[in-house]
Chain A
Amino acid sequence: MAGAGFFAGLANATVNASTVLILAGLGELISERAGVLNLGVEGMMLVGALTGFITTVVTGNYWLGLGVAILAGGAMSLIHAFLCISLNSDQAVSGIMLTLLGTGLTTFFGNSYSGNSVSGFPERTLPLIGDLLVEIPVLGPALFQSTVTDYAALLLVPVVWLFLYHTNIGLELISVGEDPETADTMGVDVFKMRYLAVIIGGALAGAAGAHLSLAFNQIWSASMTAGRGWIAVALVIFARWRPERILLGAYLFGLFNALQLYSQALDFSLGAGAPLAGVLNPVIDFVMNPTIMSTYPYLATLLVLVITVIRAENRELAQPSALVQSYSRETD
C-alpha cells in the first residue's frame, strides 16, 4: 500500500513539525530548570512569528526577521520575569496572561498581513558532506535537506545539554531551581539567574515562532501556532526536564502530526468478504478520519504525560524542587 516515497514524505513531515517543539521546548526547559514555569510560550511564539514575518516582509532579509523575533520573544518574557521574580506573582496566571496578550496583539496588529506569504529560509544541504548524506534513503532528505533553523534546533540539543551540565553558569542555573536559599548562600545571584533563564526561554520561543512563519509555513495567519506552545510545556514534563529527551518527545509528536497529513494515503479497511468487515470498517473509518486523527498528537502528549508521572511516582520525577516557588530574600 505505501512505498518508500510515502515513508520519505512521512519522515520529512515529522522532522519539519518537530523543530518548533524542540526550540520552544528547550527554552521552556531552561526557564523551568531555574524554577520559573512560563505558560506564555504560545503567546511569545506568536509574537516571534509575527515580528519576524513583518521584519522579513519590510526588509526582505529573513536573518533580520529571525533576529527581531528572538528579541521580541525575549522582551516579552521580561514581563513574566518581572512579575514572577521581582513581584512574586502567581506564575501560572502571569503565563496565561502572556499567552492571551500575545494572541491578542498579534491578531490585532497582524490583521493586515493575514494570509500574506513571504520567501523565508530556503531548504539547503549541509556544505561538503551534505550532498552525500541526502542520498541516505528515507531519512537523508528529511534530515539533511532542511532549513537553517531545523539544523540550529538539532544543534541546540547538545549545546543546551553541555550548557546546563558542564558549565558553571548552567550548574548555577540548575541550583537556583533546586534550592534557591542554598544557592544564594553560596553567592549565586538568584534573581539574575532566574531573569537570565526566563529571557533565554522567551528568546527560544520567539525563534520557534520565526521558524513557523519564515521556514515552516512562510505565511502569517492569526493563531497559527495552533497550541504548539502548550505542547512544548507538556513536552518538558515528558522529557523529565532533560534536554536530550526533548528531542525524542518532539519527534514523537511530529510523527503523529505527519501521520495525520498522510492519513488519506493509508487505507486499512477490510475487503467486503472479510470477517467482521461490517463492524470493523466503520470503526476504521472513524479512527482514520483526518479530523479525528488531528486529536492524536494531543492525546499522545496526554498519555505520555500520564505514564511519565505515574511511573515516576515511586522514583524521582526530576522536577526542579523550587519550580513555581517564588523566592524572596527577606524571609528571615
Chain B
Amino acid sequence: MQVDVDLEARTDVPRWMAYGTPVFTVLAALSVSAVALAALDVDPIAAYEIMFVQTLTTEFGLTETVAKGVPLIFAGLAVYLPLKAQLWNIGAEGQLFIGAVAGTWIGLNVSLPILALLPLMFLGAGLAGALWVAIPAWLRAKWGINEIITTLLFTFVAADLKNYVVRGPMQAPGANFPQTAQLPAAGQLPVIPGIGFPSGIVIAVVFVALTYLLVNHTRLGYEITFIGANDRAAEQAGMSKYRIYLFVLMVGGAFAGFAGISEISGVQTRLRAFFAPGYGFTAIPIALLGRNGAFRVLLAALFFSVIFVGGSSLQTLLSVPAAIVDIIQALIILFLITAEFFKRYRVSLSLGRDLSDEPRGTRPEGEV
C-alpha cells in the first residue's frame, strides 16, 4: 500500500488551533509523564489528584501556589521580553542569584521603614540583574556573540559568586551554616491582610501589566516585535538592533533580579548558599507557553507553580522524586514545538493514491 504524506503551508492558523495548542500540549505532557510515574509503581491518577486537585482546593495549596508563582512570573517575563526580539535569555537563573544577593545586602545593611526599604531592595536587585546581563547583551548587540552561551556561562559564575558571599563576606555572624542573617521585618514582603496571600503577587501583576503595555501599546514595543519578526527589514526601516537588544536583555535581567529578591524577601527570608530554585530555567517553558502575551506568561507561571507545589507534595506523600516537574517541563516544550509544525503546515495523509501523473521530486519523499 502506498502511503503519501502531503504538506501544505497554512496561510492562517485556525482559531481552535491557536487556543487549543497550549491545552493539548499540557495534556499530552501529563499523559507521557504518567508513564514515568507508572515506571516507579506510582498510580498516575492518584499522583495527579495530589498534584492538582489537592493543590488547588486547599488553602495551604493555594497560598503556596501564589507564593511560588511570584518569582516564576518575574522569571517568565525575564525570558519573554527578550524572546519578543528573538533573543534567548537562558541565564535568568544567574541574574536571579545576583539580584537576590544585591537585594538581600540592601535589606540587611540599610535601615529604613518598610515602605522605603522594600522598594529600595527591589530596585537594587533589578539593577544588579540588569548589570549582570549587560555584558552578554553588549556582546550580542555589538559583536553578534551567541547570547544563549554567554548568559549561561554567566549563570555558573553567578552561582559561585553567590556561594562565595554567603560563605564569606555576607555570612551571618557566628552562624555555622553558609547563610546570611535573617532579613529585618521591614525587608520582608508582608501577606495581604484578610486573604493571607503574599503581597508580592500584586507587584508581579503590576509588572505583567506594564510589560503588556510596553509590548502591545508603545512604539518601542512595536520595534521589539518587528526586530524579532524580521531583523533585516527592521534595520532597513531605520530601527537600531543594538539599542533594542541591550534594552530587552537588560530589562529581562532586571525582571530576573526581581524574581530573586521576591523569593528571598517573600519566602526564604534569608539567602542560603544552597539557594538554587531553578526558576530561571523553568522560565523557558513559561515564556514559550506564554509567548503570545504577557498575561499568558502570568497564567503559564501560575500553572508551573501548581506543578511545583504539587511536585513537592508528591515527594512528601508518595516519595516520588520532585524531578518529575523537570520531565513535565521538557515534555511541554517537546509537544509545543511539535504542535508548531502542525500550525505551520496542513498535513494530509493519503493511502494508495495514483501518483503517476505528478512529476517526481516536487513533493518531499516520505518525510513528514
Q: Which residues of A contact B (CB under 8 A)?
A: 39, 79, 83, 86-90, 92-94, 96-98, 100-101, 103-105, 107-109, 111, 191, 222, 227, 230, 233-234, 237, 289, 291-292, 294-295, 298-299, 301-302, 305-306, 309-310, 313, 328-330, 332
Contact = CB atoms under 8 A, between A and B. Distances in A.
Contacts of A94: 337
Contacts of B145: 305-306, 309
B284 A96 contact: yes
Interface string B14-31: 000000000000000000
B326 A291 contact: no
A107 B168 CA distance: 30
Nearest to B161: A295
Given A93-B337, A292-B160, 11 more contacts: A86-B368, A97-B337, A100-B281, A100-B284, A100-B330, A100-B333, A101-B331, A104-B330, A105-B36, A109-B40, A301-B153
B7 A330 contact: yes
A49 B68 CA distance: 32
A222 B325 CA distance: 15
B150 A305 contact: yes
Contacts of A332: 362
Given A89-B341, A107-B323, A330-B364, A306 B333 contact: no
B229 interface: no
23 contacts: A87-B338, A87-B341, A94-B337, A97-B334, A101-B330, A103-B326, A104-B325, A104-B327, A104-B329, A107-B323, A108-B40, A108-B321, A111-B323, A191-B367, A230-B153, A237-B146, A295-B156, A295-B160, A295-B161, A298-B153, A298-B156, A329-B361, A329-B364
Which 6 residue pairs are nearest across A and B when measured between Cβ atoms?
A: A104-B326, A101-B330, A107-B323, A104-B327, A100-B330, A97-B333
Nearest to A300: B153
Contacts of B150: 302, 305
Contacts of B288: 93
Interface string B254-272: 0000000000000000000
Contacts of B143: 306, 309-310, 313
A137 B57 CA distance: 69
A104 B331 CA distance: 10
Contacts of A313: 143
Interface string B353-368: 0000000011110011
A108 B284 CA distance: 20
Contact of A330 (B146, B154, B363): B363
A161 B103 CA distance: 50
A187 to B, nearest CB: 12
Contacts, number: 128
Interface in B132-182: 139, 143-146, 148-150, 152-154, 156-157, 160-161, 163-164, 167-168
Interface of B: 7, 36, 39-40, 88, 90, 139, 143-146, 148-150, 152-154, 156-157, 160-161, 163-164, 167-168, 281, 284-285, 288, 321, 323-331, 333-334, 337-338, 340-341, 361-364, 367-368
A100 B364 contact: no
A233 B149 contact: yes
A46 to B, nearest CB: 11
B358 to A, nearest CB: 13
Contacts of B153: 230, 234, 298-299, 301-302
A329 B362 CA distance: 8
B7 A108 contact: no
Nearest to A96: B284
Contacts of B163: 291
B5 to A, nearest CB: 11
Nearest to B165: A291
Q: Majority SS of interface residues in chain A?
A: helix
B330 A83 contact: no
Contacts of A295: 156-157, 160-161
Contacts of A309: 143-145
Contacts of B88: 92, 96
Of the listed residues B150, B288, B330, the one surrounded by the most CB atoms of chain A closer than 10 A to its CB is: B330
A92 B149 CA distance: 11
A93 B88 CA distance: 9
Nearest to B341: A87
B148 A97 contact: no
A177 B250 CA distance: 33
A322 to B, nearest CB: 16
Contacts of A298: 153-154, 156-157
Contacts of B152: 227, 230
Given A88-B341, A96-B90, A103-B326, A111 B164 contact: no
B316 to A, nearest CB: 15
